[in-house]
Amino acid sequence: MPRIPHISNFTDIEALSHEPEVEVIWTATPARINAADAVILPGSKNVIADMAFLRKHNWQIALDQYAVSGKGLVIGLCGGFQMLGKEIFDPDAVEGHRRECAGLGLLDVVTRLDTKKVVQRSDGTENLFHTPVSGYEIHMGKTERGADAQPFVRLENETDGAISESGNVFGTYLHGLFDSGAFRKKFLEYVSEKKGMALNPDIERPDFWRVKEENYDRLADHFERYTRVDEILQVMGLDT
């Protein structure tokens, strides 16, 4: 994964990092890209500045060659999705003084940032492996697909993201994509098959959304048991 300066939502790959067959490598340069089974571009708080960083460190050429070779998948999450497109416009200077820049050009999409932030939970079915996915969106602006891109996720009332014609480059605004157990398993199966290997069938691959909810419940139970909530509310003047 490119270690971009303005990274956000780096927990998007936490579920992958817990998989015993997976090694997640963060790197500022693409020196090891040819040995990678997949390259994931993370979210960004300043996509135009991070695009300049990628070009400075030769990611543009390396990612283009990697995608053309078909060695593995190239994935963009939120800001990473925007950077995979053709152009990024920031007419209202939402993220900085630069108003536009060219993207990596690996997806036929164009992004226009604006002052309205999208914040919502989203559920749907992705179009690569046809599995259910869940996550959340938190981003500025809107990305439009061109004729050479298909939607990545079918949501309840709309579509999200994009898949290239070759099928080995895709992006989405959906944070927590790899937390969805069914998608993560299919993704790992695809990568393993490309390497001529097979996943260990004895390893449990839980849905991390469920795991997180269980952990939140345990934390709430612990807090309720060992905290004098009534006295705290009384001090705050909120006792009933």
Task: Give the pLDDT band of residue 240 (cuts 50, 70, 90).
Answer: low
Per-residue pLDDT of 36-93, as tens digits, reads 999 999 999 999 999 999 999 999 999 999 999 988 999 999 999 999 999 999 999 9
Catalytic residues: 78, 175
Q: Average model confidence (pLDDT) for the chain?
A: 92
Q: Using pLDDT thresholds of 50, 70 and 90, give the confidence band for residue 205.
A: confident
pTM for this model (two decimals): 0.88
- For the chain, helix (H) and strand (E) counts, in that order, are 7, 13
pLDDT (0 to 100) of residue 71? 87
- Residues 141 and 114 sit within 8 Å (Cβ to Cβ): yes
User: pLDDT tens digits, residue range 71-83?
Assistant: 899 999 999 999 9
Which positions ≥6 away from 24 have C-beta within 8 Å? 1, 13, 16, 17
Residues 81, 82, 87, 93: what is their CA dihedral angle, to the nearest 10 degrees? -170
Q: How much is the pLDDT for 88?
A: 97
Overall fold of domain 7-203: Rossmann fold (3.40.50)
Phi-psi region of 197 (alpha: psi -120 to 50; beta: other; left: phi over 0): beta
Residue 231: half-sphere exposure toward Cβ, Cα within 13 Å: 4
Q: Where are the beta strands (DSSP E) in the chain?
A: 7-8, 38-41, 43-44, 73-77, 87-89, 100-102, 109-126, 132-145, 149-150, 153-155, 159-160, 162-164, 169-172
Nearest to 103 by CA among 76, 130, 66, 126: 76
Q: What is the pLDDT of residue 10?
A: 84
